Amino acid sequence: REYSSAYGETGTRIVKVGDVQFGAPEPVFIAGPCAVENRDDLFRIAEQCKAAGAHILRGGVFKPRSSVHSFQGLGSAGHDEAIEALTWLREAGRTFGMPVVTEVRGEAQVDLVAEFVDIIQIGARNMYDQDLLQTAARKKLPVMFKRHFGASVEEFLCFAEYIAAEGNKDIILCERGIVPMGKGKNYTRYMLDLAAVPVVQKETFLPIIVDPSHATGRRDLIRSMSLASIAAGAAGLMIEVHDRPEDARCDASQMIQPSELKEIIAAARQLRTIA
């Protein structure tokens, strides 16, 4: 097999981010808006995510949108805007006691983003970008590595090894859904591949989390898919949260309320004790 031979580890690796541990018995909850849009919204949402029990704050600064005419994230507006948005993210995390994660969409963003975050996110669309993986890995920060929607599990693990081969084994894998099959309507944005969770755990030592938000694109499915992910053994969840989704400039249909996040976290913790 092509992957994991160079990892030189067995069992489960605990990836530590401050006091938070991915791969420990307690599941980790990453929450926050799809994008960082302004300081007030971010701080208000971050405070509510923390109160709901979230450990880590997310928020996109460089957004990988399908259309060039869609909101690209404040980071894409210019260097000053990028610094401003990253500063808000870091401040919100510090204020409410949460490490922060944001995506790097290209190599040119890695140096800047690494100055502000605790985890570097590589998005699904960039899973195959070897140069980006290597550049991000060299920052010596944990890397959250999302599966491409067209990638097999084997390919996903092969590409994760580009990060490990740089000497950075602090990799948090993330299942976020694959391209659905068939001609008709599928009713979800992608198809959540939950079997990937126990498979990855058997094949490698890395912790794997699930992102039910991008997998489904539907807020009414977040609770059931979150609990199913925990039952499948996921080390954590990344969930998009907004208390005023109608104001959001992206992914409004999938962001849940902080009150619902709180219920999901409580239910997930209970489930973990029996699953």
Which spans of this chain sit near Mn ion (rule: CB under 5 A)?
34, 251
Query: Binding to ligand PEP by residue 209, rule CB under 6 A?
Result: no
Q: Which is nearer to ligand PEP, 206 or 239 (CB)?
A: 239
What is the residue type of 142?
P
Of 250, 181, 164, 208, whose CA–CA distance to 12 is shortest? 208
Q: Which is nearer to ligand PEP, 146 or 169 (CB)?
A: 146
Of 133, 135, 183, whose CA–CA distance to 158 is shortest? 133
Selected from 105, 169, 189, 214, the binder of ligand PEP by CB under 6 A is 214
Pairing of strands 208-210, 56-58: unpaired
Instruction: Check: CB of residue 186 under 8 Å from CB of residue 175.
Output: no
Q: Which stretch binds ligand PEP (CB under 6 A): 66-74, 122-130, 180-188, 265-273?
A: 122-130
Query: Binding to ligand PEP by residue 189, rule CB under 6 A?
Result: no
DSSP 173: E
The structure tokens 């299942």 sit at: 175
Selected from 50, 176, 223, 242, the binder of ligand PEP by CB under 6 A is 176
What residues from 54 to 113 belong to the interface with ligand PEP (CB under 6 A)? 60, 64, 103
**Residue of minimal CB distance from Mn ion?**
34
Selected from 123, 207, 245, 258, the binder of ligand PEP by CB under 6 A is 123
Pairing of strands 143-146, 119-122: parallel
Alpha helices (H) along the chain: 39-52, 79-96, 110-114, 130-137, 153-164, 196-203, 212-216, 222-231, 258-274
Q: Which stretch binds ligand PEP (CB under 6 A): 11-19, 108-116, 117-125, 164-172?
A: 117-125
Q: Which residues bind ligand PEP (CB under 6 A)?
A: 60, 64, 103, 123-125, 146, 176, 211, 214
